[in-house]
Structure 1
Amino acid sequence: MKTLITIITLLCLQFAIGQQNYNKGMSKAFELWKAQQTDEAANLFERIAGAEKENWIPFYYAAQIHIISTYNTKEGKEIESRLAKAQNLVNEAKTFSDNNAEVLVLEAMLNTAYVAYKPNVYGMKLSAKVEELYQQAKALEPNNPRAILYHAEWKMGSARFWGKDPKAFCPEVEKAILYFENAEEPKVPFYPHWGMKQVTRVQKICNQS
């Protein structure tokens, strides 16, 4: 009996130390990201992902950094390299968390980045996929504010492309704001909870005269 208690105690201690190291590493990665040291942050997220077992969250943030970074460069090779890497990271995240609305939203953002990069090449090829990914995410989590906001932004962009009024989707933006305001704090450490700061950018379309 004493041996069993000792084993359980050691396992609990090992878990606690592992969780502490994970929290410390993730916090450091976010600090680097906030300081605009994006590559350092992405690399640290990837190292954490490699050390963790079956945890999709570090893969998610590493992929997100690469996706967002493509909008700050005009170098085609760098964009393609980052998006390819982001896809690999998304695939890893999906391996550990299937049917995850947050990962589906991120994959939709990834494909949107391809369309933004070369609309004449990827527009027709990936538009249906982007729409499908957002629909899947919203089916899994109808109140997910990131799914609603970014889907609305995607539909606004499509409307502008086809000469239609993007403001038709402004009610979706308002709905996203409501869900952001009523969202509960995540119980899982570092679970995606971002997006409210991006509302202002999308709202600019709705405020145009």
Structure 2
Amino acid sequence: MILSLFTINTAIAQSAYEKGMGKAFELWGSQKNDEAANLFERIGQAEKDNWLPFYYAAQIHIVKTFGTKNAEEVESRLTKAQNYLNEAKTHSKNNAEILIMEAMLNTAYVVYDGAKYGMTHSAKVEELYQIAKSIEPENPRAVLYHAEWQMGAAKFWGKDPKAFCPEIEKAILYFEKASSTIPFYPDWGKDQIERIQQNCK
């Protein structure tokens, strides 16, 4: 009887989590970004040892800064994102996906103001991708976005970005192989391959 009650309670908890995550993704898809981030945060606070809600809350804020010119908004969103990633890291150590997202956060600083943040954040981006790839050598997001970062750096220094095109081919293969049984596990990035491959033409 005790086992049955435990099983029922677990099923209810899982369905509530899945329902909440589904709603958060729905809000995000409807461009209700802050509502989605806030819901992911609430789910994260309710869940024990689950890094995914905080991860997605961080991603929303990071993505929103690209193309934003308002300094106050950029600083606010990236500070929130870092706090969410710090929280995610308390629930999952040596997690390549969290490190990739943190690399994107640091990239967002550089993209926003290279003169101000380039020196301090560029090395951090490179370090985070290297660590992520050492943990998961075949993580498609780590390989793809590290290649994009390296291509941007090559252009900046007047070098040929095509040197990193083979890495994109690797990422394509890794996307095809990637699979996870964990609900809501990150699977984004494949739709950006064509855009990044423009550097190879």
1:1-209 to 2 correspondences below 5 Å: 6-184=1-179, 186-207=180-201
For residue 50 of structure 1, report the CA deviation from its aligned partner.
1.0
Structure 1: distance between partners of 2:21 and 2:193: 25
Moved over 4 A (4+): none
Structure 1: distance between partners of 2:28 and 2:19: 14
Max Rg structure = 1
For residue 40 of structure 1, report the CA deviation from its aligned partner.
1.3
Deviation string for 1:83-107 (max 9, x for gaps)? 0000000000000001000001000
For residue 122 of structure 1, report the CA deviation from its aligned partner.
1.1
Deviation string for 1:150-198 (max 9, x for gaps)? 00000011111111111111111111011111212x1010011111011
Q: What is the TM-score with the length of structure 1 in the denominator?
A: 0.94
Structure 1 unpaired stretches of 5+: 1-5
Structure 2 unpaired stretches of 5+: none
Q: Where does residue 3 of structure 1 map in the other structure?
A: none
Structure 2: distance between partners of 1:71 and 1:37: 16
Structure 1: distance between partners of 2:35 and 2:159: 41
CA RMSD, Structure 1 to Structure 2 (Å): 0.9
Q: Secondary structure at the match of 1:190?
A: coil
> Percent identity among equivalent residues?
67
Aligned partner of 1:204: which letter? Q
Q: Secondary structure at the match of 2:187?
A: coil
Q: What is the TM-score with the length of structure 2 in the denominator?
A: 0.97
Structure 1: distance between partners of 2:2 and 2:176: 44
For residue 206 of structure 1, report the CA deviation from its aligned partner.
1.3
